[in-house]
A and B are shown apart, each in its own frame.
Chain A
Amino acid sequence: MKDKLDTLGAKLARKEIRIPVDLTVGVLFFLLGGVVLLIMPHQVAISERDVVNGRAFPTLLMGLMMFCSALLVGKEIYKLAKKKPLEYKTVNLLVEIKALIILAILLVSYLLARWTDLFVVGAVFCALAFLIYFRCKKPSYYIITVGLAVGIWAAFRFLLNVRF
């Protein structure tokens, strides 16, 4: 199992995706600005009598965000036209999969705590899941980490009076 995972990891570590950062940021945030402006009338109620209403500031922000995004996109298009190199960010597939696993541990810990309404259940799962993620083989680490997880819950529950 360990060898299989290592082989798979080595394969994934070689796979990389290059993202044109400025172009992606420009397009994404231009679209975000546009979407926020579109939903603004449904999401921000105003009174007709107001000289400066609750939409003024978010509108100004989205205008600035779209302007800056357009600048980024324009700069990158100019670079493409002049055949100059774009700024890229390399994303490693193995790193991203590991990040997704960590996010999954966080999510399951949260869901366990919420469903059982017992924070300590989520905390113990989190402790064990991370030890397994790090491929820890030392029993003492398991005892210490689970003990600390229960200890933190107990400190919040009984000392700080947080009922969870």
Chain B
Amino acid sequence: MLQHIVPASGLLFTLQNILWINIGVFIGAVFAAIPGLTVILCVILFLPVTYSMSAIPGMMFLLGIYCAGGYGGSVSAILINTPGTPHAAATMLDGHPLSKQGRTKAALKIALYASTFGGIFSALALLFLGPQVAKFAAQLGTPECFMVCVFGLTIIAGVSGKSMIRGIIAACLGLLISCIGSDPMTSYDRFTFGVGRLYLGLDLAVCLIGLFALVEIVGRAEKKPDELHMDTSKMHDNGVITKAEYKRMARPTILGSLIGVIVGIIPGTGASEASWFSYSQARNLSKHPEEFGHGSVEGVAASESANNAVTGATLIPLLTLGIPGDGTVAIMLSALMINGLNPGLSLFTTQGDIMYAIMLGLILVNVFMLLQGKVLTPIFAKVVSIPQEILTPIIVIFCFAGAYSVNKNYFDVAVALVFCVLAWLLRKLDMPPVPILLGLVLGKMTETNFRRALLISNGNPSVFFSSVYCWIFVGLIVLAVGTILRGKLREKKPQAQPVTKEE
């Protein structure tokens, strides 16, 4: 590891990288602060910008957005009792009561410090655990790689949305869409319907603009007029956090960071799960559980440290096995692959300098998030109240410009619109979009490993059960499916009771 650190530092500490980190942090915090605009939407919108960049500045920019998004979501949660991002919901429980007590600045500071600690803790976990997991990943052959893809898709299909079956159908749809274009092994065209432009396949960024960004605009139809205007409360306090409060913050922050890292490593789980779990654990272990929900410093620290501690940990399965920990990092995978960086051990050996620069960069991202948070939080707070009348068309124009600029043609804008309509229809049918995203991202990798494994075995499907690792992944898939189904059945039980009573 040490042999990579020095050259990686040289690659990382350039004016260009520092600039992109800061732009990313600023954009991420602003986007996440606005209710209704998510981090994933922000990453999708700005992904085309990274296409012309090399790997390090491109990843630094996206990681800046990703990490700062974790903190930005808490700004509106604290100020207006509306989480900017779903994972800031737990922060809202204590952050907003603190704000109502006239301690808005203090609440924002607690969220910022806890987020920074969680983020740096997670970045260090990535730095030390990543290469070890990559060594394990290097022992996997094509059948095992296929099973890894199936494992990742199964978990995400299972945990996204209410029904596991609907999640699997959505994942199949995503994988099918990824088949459009030339066959990765023979170059024959597939599902192109005579449209020449489809031969190269559908660009991931374009599909995602439709699936996640434009559909949110159409989703404005569901909002009532009063939901479109949000006034922020003013920050009058001096933002002082007492020594006693710092002491009380320490334990939940460390605990939250640990929980965030563990939850983040598991594919399919994300910042929301981590922040809620951390919040409940902090309440259970607190000497003042009665304060939770009424402006507890510990509550804010626990949820914020956990949701930012997920950021580095989700990159561990992404960089080592190619399995994105959540939807946002799935998009980052495409940014890596465009620069010829394919997940696995080779990333840490042949491309070691670049990889270590990215991992060290994650620490730097958190440092700049802290600095920007300290200076620019009043601006982030003002952004919360930008009128939707102005914001909505601006997002659409960004989406269209982003889709056009990928290949510099209007065909891609039309594709984004088609995906927007598809996403809206799927939303009406309660179909989760994240498994489609995973299908799109993992499609080529899954198919190539599937076909290569069958070619090696001359078409014998028993190749997928031919090694210990295969059986381990089969076991993990069965375990994951069992756990998810058990959880879903538990969720349904309370709903079933009233029906029985009526009967």
Interface residues in chain A, defined as those with a beta carbon under 8 Å from any beta carbon in chain B? 19, 21-22, 24-25, 28-29, 36, 43-47, 50-54, 56-58, 60-62, 64-65, 68-69, 71-72, 85, 89, 91, 95-96, 98-99, 101-103, 106-107, 109-110, 113-114, 119, 122-123, 126-127, 129-131, 134, 136, 141, 144-145, 148-149, 152-153, 156, 160, 162-164
Contact = CB atoms under 8 A, between A and B. Distances in A.
Interface string B249-280: 00000000000000000000000000000000
9 contacts: A43-B191, A61-B176, A62-B176, A65-B172, A126-B400, A127-B393, A130-B393, A153-B397, A164-B401
A143 B369 CA distance: 33
Contacts of B392: 130, 134
The 9 closest A-B pairs by CB, nearest first: A98-B221, A99-B221, A130-B393, A54-B183, A65-B172, A134-B389, A52-B454, A45-B188, A127-B393
Given A71-B165, A127-B393, 19 more contacts: A29-B169, A44-B183, A44-B191, A47-B188, A54-B185, A54-B188, A65-B173, A99-B219, A101-B221, A102-B217, A107-B417, A109-B396, A113-B400, A130-B393, A131-B389, A134-B392, A145-B393, A152-B397, A152-B401
Contacts of A53: 186
A65 B389 contact: no
Interface string B379-421: 0000000011110111011101100110010100110010011
B408 A54 contact: no
B389 A57 contact: no
A47 B186 contact: yes
Contacts of B458: 51
B192 A102 contact: no
Interface stretch (B107-115, B315-323, B425-433): B425-433
Contact of A141 (B183, B389, B413, B499): B389
- The secondary-structure label for the interface of chain A is helix
Contacts of B478: none
Max count, chain B CB within 10 A of own CB: residue among A68, A71, A153? A68
A144 B404 CA distance: 24
Given A44-B190, A89-B430, A99-B424, A64 B168 contact: yes
A76 to B, nearest CB: 11
B410 A130 contact: no
Contact of B429 (A68, A89, A102): A89
Interface residues of B, number: 63
Contacts of B214: 106
Contacts, number: 181
Nearest to B401: A156
A149 B394 contact: yes
A149 B397 contact: yes
Nearest to A144: B390
Contacts of A69: 169
A102 B390 CA distance: 15
B405 A162 contact: yes
A149 B413 CA distance: 17
Interface in B3-62: 49
Given A44-B191, A102-B217, A136 B400 contact: no
A104 B142 CA distance: 46
Contacts of B401: 119, 123, 152-153, 156, 162, 164
Given A106-B396, A107-B417, A22 B163 contact: yes
B189 interface: yes
Interface string B166-180: 101100110110010
Contacts of B176: 36, 58, 61-62, 65
A19 B428 contact: yes
B251 to A, nearest CB: 43
Contacts of A136: 389
Nearest to A146: B393
A102 to B, nearest CB: 5
A54 B190 contact: yes
Contacts of A160: 49, 405
B288 interface: no
Given A130-B392, A134-B392, A122 B400 contact: yes
A52 B221 contact: no
B348 interface: no
Nearest to B413: A110
Given A102-B218, A145-B394, A119 B189 contact: no
A153 B428 CA distance: 33
B389 A130 contact: yes
